Amino acid sequence: MTPRETSLTPDLLSRVRPGVAVAVAVNAATGIRRRRPTGYRLYGARSELSPEGRGRGPAPRITDVGSVAIVEIRGAMEQRESSWECGETCGYDGIERDVCAALTDPGVAALVIDADTPGGDEPGLVETGDRIRAVADAMGKPVLGYSPAFLASAGVYLLLAICDATYIHATARAGSVSSVVLFSTDARRLAKEGTDVYVARGLPGKMNPNSLEPLDDLGKARLDEHALACSEEFVLFVAAKRGLDPAAVRAWNAGLFRGQAAVDVGLVDGLGTLDTVIALAGSLAGLQEAAA
């Protein structure tokens, strides 16, 4: 597949913010567009799915105290929800809205965040995690994370920031603790088409790099510097949250760990299924029937 045959265009790459995963661009290249279900689902004390969902149409609200709420995260994440030709991206703003709505619902005793994500952008990630955790602390409700298949990069960061503990399925993969900056320039194509580009600058470093000119040493150095800074902040955050030596986290070399291997290196707390994590959340909230 040539660059002109993929939706991972120079324009898209040049506008993607340097981040923990910039998985929005990766999803664009592969055509992955999954709508994240908004609102939250409610499970009763015995982990039975109720027919109603908060924030999903006119369904009546459940008023019984003792439900476990489920908020889903699906696909790549970015700072704000946005629409594309093939669907919608998953925004930190939407995740925060739904998680905080569940946490402040008097009918919710505990929360499970069900995440299947390759990661996302850096902008908005840290602030979102901090704000949600502050609400969770204020409400005093258990918050558990779960991934059925893929929990990578910014997904790892967000769940570690929000959740009291995180579990994955035995076949799921978790990791990619680092950052990447994707950048592309259209300079060769423009030159081949006979298009002259002139950029007048007040200072030599202005708009360097950009998508119209070839990457020079300064542009590359700036991209490398940003990626390294994001990566180191991420490594130190994971190490602090998981009680690990930062050197050990760096030694993972941004690898993905499958199932038990993710537990063994200390990245997640254990293995399970969505049902068992829901039951555990209910049990931690004092819903004795949840463990039945």
SS (H, E, C) 159-225: HHHHCCEEEECCCCEEECCCCECCCCCCHHHHHHCCCCCCCCCCCCCCCCCCCCCCCCHHHHHHHHH
CA distance 204 to 154: 33
Contact present, 252 and 175 (Cβ < 8 Å): yes
Confidence of residue 52 (pLDDT cuts 50, 70, 90): very low
CA distance 158 to 93: 13
pLDDT 10s digits, 224-233: 999 999 999 9
pLDDT 10s digits, 146-158: 999 999 999 999 9
Q: Which of 183, 228, 180, 189 is nearest to 210 (CA)?
A: 183
Query: What single-letter amino acid sits at 232?
Result: E
Q: How much is the pTM? A: 0.80
pLDDT of residue 124: 92
Statement: residue 87 has pLDDT above 90: no
Which residues on adjacent β-strands are paired with residue 152?
175
pLDDT 10s digits, 90-124: 889 999 999 999 999 998 999 999 999 999 999 99
The DSSP code for 140 is T
Query: What single-letter amino acid sits at 104?
Result: T
Angle subtended by helix axes 217-242 and 154-162, to nearest 10: 30
Joined tokens for residue 108:
């919710």
Q: Which of 99, 145, 176, 154 is nearest to 272 (CA)?
A: 145
- Helix ranges (DSSP H) in the chain: 10-15, 23-30, 92-103, 125-139, 154-162, 187-192, 217-242, 246-251, 260-264, 274-284
Joined tokens for residue 89:
């991206």
- Cβ burial, residue 146 (10 Å; 0-12/13-18/19+): buried
Among 51-65, 75-89, 149-163, the range scoring the smallest mean pLDDT is 51-65
Q: State the average pLDDT for the chain.
A: 81
Q: Which of 266, 250, 183, 234 is nearest to 9 (CA)?
A: 183
pLDDT 10s digits, 15-30: 334 344 444 444 444 4
Architecture category of domain 3-184+238-291 in CATH: Alpha-Beta Complex (3.90)
CA distance 210 to 199: 10
Mean pLDDT of 237-256: 97
Mean pLDDT of 238-245: 97
CA distance 56 to 94: 13
Which residues on adjacent β-strands are paired with residue 120?
77
Higher pLDDT, 255 or 53: 255
Mean pLDDT of 201-222: 91
pLDDT of residue 39: 79
